[in-house]
Structure 1
């Protein structure tokens, strides 16, 4: 201890010095905040997610113009979008451990700021190499909201309110790139040109950082308890008072195992994780396929300009909104049934909306492909198909995501990491071939191919709805965690 003093005696009753919450109504507890404050925080963090996903696709309409200005081929310019999405796959390796060690606030602020900085660097780049490299790192930092925001919403809301909040978050994940396509198209067609497709999300990103610094307080329970313990120590002068989270030591091997090695093992050994993640990867990748395909189709068939040709994606966004309403209604009905004792708490209940979406989704794709290939059909008809496509898209994606978390609740962090890495890695390839596929196969046959793939994946939802519990009982990873549901 210094000055030849011995170490003090160990405190016998250490638990009495550990700080905890006084229930959910504790003023330190995020769930104890006023509903208006929670809604304000939720709106800001969902806006951060919207900025990151908007940034992922806004450059897509500008790729050809940027490639021409920088003297490279169109395929090279398309890499700027693909590598941004690919950056999402590497995010969990940083932001997952960051949430455990630093809480929610700092990783979200750092990620949003880094995304804005690298997006700005892409905007002022003098060569295509700088654009592509900066876009990749913008994606790595931009994945922070995708990893952190669901945790913030879980910290703020109870089981009854969490479903609607997560549904709105999921809406921002898909609405961002779909809205970006039209806005980016109008920017490219104007005197602003391609660099402003990057200046705009950079400005939005810096504004998001400003809002986070101003309004976001820490919501991670362990980190909040550390602050509460420090406050009590200052008031009482008793320096033995501490939070349990303060004793957590950085274990690099444990973090590596949790966020890299175990997720890769789950993709190989867990059929539920692998097949559901493949289904979600197809759905997520198709979003970026539509971002490129819709403008091409409506330009090629109906002679629209880039901005106007992407406006039919509004129908897809409308379908997403309808899906949010349907999912929230279904969750509320499920909660009522469960509270009455007539329902079941099995995670497979989450897959009911997926079955509806799995049927509606390919119908929308077939409808679009066989009405948009000829100008003799009015443009409103293929546009209307987007409502079914958007409805099915979110009805598949969000319940599947919730199902994975509930089915592997003790391994939720690893499960989410596995899912994000696979879906972002696969989705990153879609911008490279989507337009070429529609151009070479023809609009009707390219759309039919995607619709047939969607039909081929329907058995995934049906199979796990019926037999998911059996697969979970056979899981060695779940057995090892002693947490079979």
Structure 2
């Protein structure tokens, strides 16, 4: 039953099997349920909520098979958009030479996924990219494809969070993050072979075909899972069937005042990023991690080309990175379903008056600490094993993928748990900052390599990782105290 921020219910009733609460909302009040000023008219609204904890229309009560089936489409969207965002990287040298510009110019816009909307936009703008006759068309097409497509990443992850409960939610978020990074890890391999055997334009045609196939899959499998949207539909149905205009979902109550919407969706993410130490530090760390992955798209193939490998063959070690990403998901899932689940069960047993208890968000952090400890030596291993057998450097790629993904998955899950009621705002500003900053990392690869070469470039990244390595350890120990300073986090257990 939804009651946060509302006046105590004056009455409860069931109508057509739907739970509703009768509440008073002052006309013009800035938030639902605030006290009514003197002589101000009061309207009666009936709040539509889920019909108990086992309401079959609640996505978290769908059957396991239904959840897995409905999860497949958003995961496919995440993979395809991530794949499309990175496949063109293999064509930067070719197109730069063809149109007489530097490689940095070919990278500057394309990898700036700004959170907007959807798979269709990502697919459509592959067409002008494939038909481009100048650099401007390439840059604009890639920017628009990335900007529109990035909405699918946010929407897909949010859909999974709506479907799964507190234990499996962490695994669902981790799977989403792994699929995203797996797509961007596989695409350089595919792109290199396409450019070598066919033409760089086929990187765009391949992306368009993938988006089309995933689009058909979404038509078949996607189903609305937003709790707010489903309750709004239920309220609309009741208004239509009963003729009573007072049925409202909580999301509709908030939308009665435009100032609430402006404060919630426009200014709150920025305020959170400026005021929340946990969000600031986690965003900084995950930006470094994500940027290191972006940087590896150029650095890794360069290292193996120095061994005399061909351009397509030099991308094959990304397979080891992908295996590391999948292994990280396995480690995180095993941790979640064992140690973390035991902590959650103990918390429920200790719940008072049947009120569900929360496990401290800091209990999510051990996998992140493991990844943080592994990353600096893994980068050093890669950078300084260039003169040894190639297997040693490939194994280093695996541990880099493993450590980066452990940090990334756990960091996202931690942000979600800390800002449970403000997750959308926290994740939106996090993704925006992370994407804008980390997408610029490949611009530094050429100058950095020219100055530091492979070994010292990897050493620089290792040093940066070591400098911020202590942050998850500090949050693990002092997280409850740091969260107590927050205006936006959900406190304690």
Query: Cα offset for 1:418?
Result: 2.2
Deviations 1:133-184 (A, max 9, x none): 1211111111112211222112212223222222211111211111111111
Q: 1:62 aligns with which of 82, 87, 91?
A: 91
Say whether residues 1:226 and 2:232 are aligned partners: yes
Q: 1:243 to 1:449 in 2, by over 3 A?
A: same
Pairwise CA distance, 1:243: 4.1
| Closer, same or farther: CA 199–253 of 1 in aligned 2, 3 Å | farther
**TM-score, length-scaled by structure 2:** 0.83
Question: Counterpart of 2:4?
Answer: none
Post-superposition offset of 1:222: 2.3
Contact 1:28 1:228 in 2 (8 A): no
CA root-mean-square deviation: 2.4
Classify the secondary structure of the residue corresponding to 2:456. Answer: helix
- Number of aligned residue pairs: give it: 442
Give the C-alpha shift of residue 111 in structure 1.
1.0
Q: Which one of the candidate residues 142, 161, 169 is aligned to 2:176?
A: 169
Find the residue that maps to 2:49 and give its secondary structure: coil
Q: 1:347 aligns with which of 361, 369, 385?
A: 361
| 1:226-283 deviation line (CA, Å, top 9, x unaligned) | 333455566x554547441445537665444434433333333322211111100000
- Equivalent-residue separation in structure 1 for 2:275 and 2:310 (angstroms): 48
Whether the aligned pair in 1 keeps the contact of 2:343 and 2:359 (CA below 8 Å) is no
> Partner of 2:290 in structure 1?
284
Other-structure match for 1:181 = 188
Give yes or no for contact 1:19–1:241 (8 Å, CA) kept in 2: no
Does residue 330 of structure 1 match 2:335?
Answer: yes
**Aligned residue number for residue 408 of structure 1:** 419
Question: 2:380 corresponds to which residue?
Answer: 366
Distance 1:28 1:241, change over 3 A: farther
Matching residue within 428, 436, 442 for 1:417: 428
Aligned to 1:112: 119
Q: Which of 427, 441, 461 in structure 1 is aligned with 2:438?
A: 427
Displacement, 1:454? 1.0
**Alignment partners' CA distance in 2, 1:434 and 1:169:** 28
Match of 2:465 in 1: 454
Pick which of 247-256 and 137-146 moved more.
247-256
Q: How far off its partner does 1:436 sit?
A: 3.6
Determine if contact 1:348/1:403 at 8 Å carries over to the other structure. yes
Deviation at 1:120, TM superposition (A): 2.2
1:78 aligns with 2:104: no
> Which of 317, 330, 334 does residue 322 from structure 2 map onto?
317
Contact 1:24 1:31 in 2 (8 A): no
Residues 107-137 of structure 1, C-alpha deviations (whole Å, 9 max, x = no match):
xxx5110111122222212211111112111
Larger helix percent = 1
For 2:277, the equivalent position in structure 1 comes to: 271
SS in 2 for 1:85: coil
Q: Measure, in 1, the Cα distance between the counterparts of 2:71 and 2:420.
A: 23
Q: Using the alignment, how far apart are the partners of 2:69 and 2:53 within structure 1?
A: 19
CA distance in 1, matches of 2:236, 2:421: 30
Whole-Å separation in 1 of the counterparts to 2:63 and 2:277: 42
Q: Deviations over 1:54-104 (max 9, x none)?
A: 11111011011112222322221222xxx2332x2x31xx4xxxxxxxxxx
Contact 2:77 2:153 in 1 (8 A): no
**Comparing 351-360 and 217-226, the one that deviates more:** 217-226
Moved more, 192-201 or 261-270: 261-270
Equivalent residue, structure 2, for 1:130? 137
Q: Does 1:26 align with 2:55?
A: yes
C-alpha spacing 1:197/1:255, structure 2 compared with 1 (3 Å): farther
- Work out the CA distance in 2 between the residues paired with 1:295 and 1:251: 53
Deviations 1:175-212 (A, max 9, x none): 1111111111001111x211111111122112222222
Q: Distance in 1 between matches of 2:48 and 2:126?
A: 42
Equivalent position SS for 2:110: helix
TM-score if structure 1 supplies the norm length? Answer: 0.85
Higher relative contact order (CA 8 A, sep 6+): 1
Q: Is the 1:115–1:205 contact (alpha carbons within 8 Å) kept by the matching residues of 2?
A: yes
**Mean CA deviation greater in 196-205 or 243-252:** 243-252
SS at match of 1:302: coil
Query: Does the 8 A contact of 1:259 with 1:417 survive in 2?
Result: no
Q: Which runs of 5+ in 1 are unaligned?
A: 1-9, 95-109
Contact 2:380-2:458 within 8 A present in 1 as well:
yes
In structure 2, the gaps of 5 or more residues are: 1-40, 351-357
The one of 184, 206, 214 aligned to 1:208: 214
C-alpha displacement at 1:366, in angstroms? 0.8
- 1:471 aligns with 482
Q: Report the CA distance shift for 1:232/1:418 in structure 2 as closer, same or farther (over 3 A).
A: closer
Partners of 1:34 and 1:187 lie apart in 2 by 41
